[in-house]
């Protein structure tokens, strides 16, 4: 009887020790799993940001090449900018040096089509602008129609979509645990 009681006590002590050790291992596993998931989410964010940056850079290079090969790209960009300007009397257009002469010849007529009257337009060269990109300044503001600016806005929208997808995945992961 005494041996049985002693064996039972030893068994219960071993079980308690085992349960405690198992709980410690489970807690350590949980901490490691959370760290891993945090690291994975951070990596995912960095990869998404890098993908958006790379896509934006590639798109800008393609637009510059397209503007070099097709003069209508510059005119289309100018038209979009002029549509946003509205009625004005004076405009200042900054553009790549290779686009200045073309803009000086077409911008007055395009602006006149929108307003019905002649507009004072100054076109200047800017080293910071690539082919096809431009910045239009007028009395009520500035329209940055550079490729970098336009694609930057697109990149922000794509980044937000990545963030939304990531948040959805995080919420789904949290609901599964």
Q: Tokens standing for 164?
A: 């939304």
pTM: 0.67
Distance CA(129)–CA(94), nearest Å, equals: 8
Q: Tokens standing for 102?
A: 């073309």
- 3-55 tens-digit pLDDT: 888 889 899 999 999 999 999 999 999 999 999 999 998 998 898 889 888 98
pLDDT of 81 reads 95
């Amino acid at each position: 009887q005494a041996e049985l009681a002693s064996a039972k006590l030893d068994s219960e002590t071993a079980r308690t020790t085992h349960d405690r050790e198992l709980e410690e291992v489970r807690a350590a596993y949980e901490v490691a799993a959370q760290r891993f998931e945090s690291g994975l989410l951070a990596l995912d964010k960095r990869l998404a940001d890098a993908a958006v940056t790379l896509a934006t850079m590639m798109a800008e290079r393609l637009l510059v090449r397209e503007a070099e090969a097709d003069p209508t790209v510059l005119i289309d960009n100018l038209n979009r900018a002029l549509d946003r300007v509205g009625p004005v009397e004076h405009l200042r257009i900054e553009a790549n040096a290779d686009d200045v002469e073309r803009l000086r010849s077409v911008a007055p007529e395009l602006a006149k089509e929108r307003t019905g009257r002649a507009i004072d337009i100054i076109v200047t060269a800017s080293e910071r602008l690539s082919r096809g990109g431009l910045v239009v300044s007028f009395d009520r503001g500035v329209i940055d129609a550079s490729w970098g600016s336009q694609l930057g806005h697109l990149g922000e929208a794509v980044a937000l979509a990545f963030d939304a997808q990531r948040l959805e995945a995080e919420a789904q992961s949290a609901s599964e645990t």
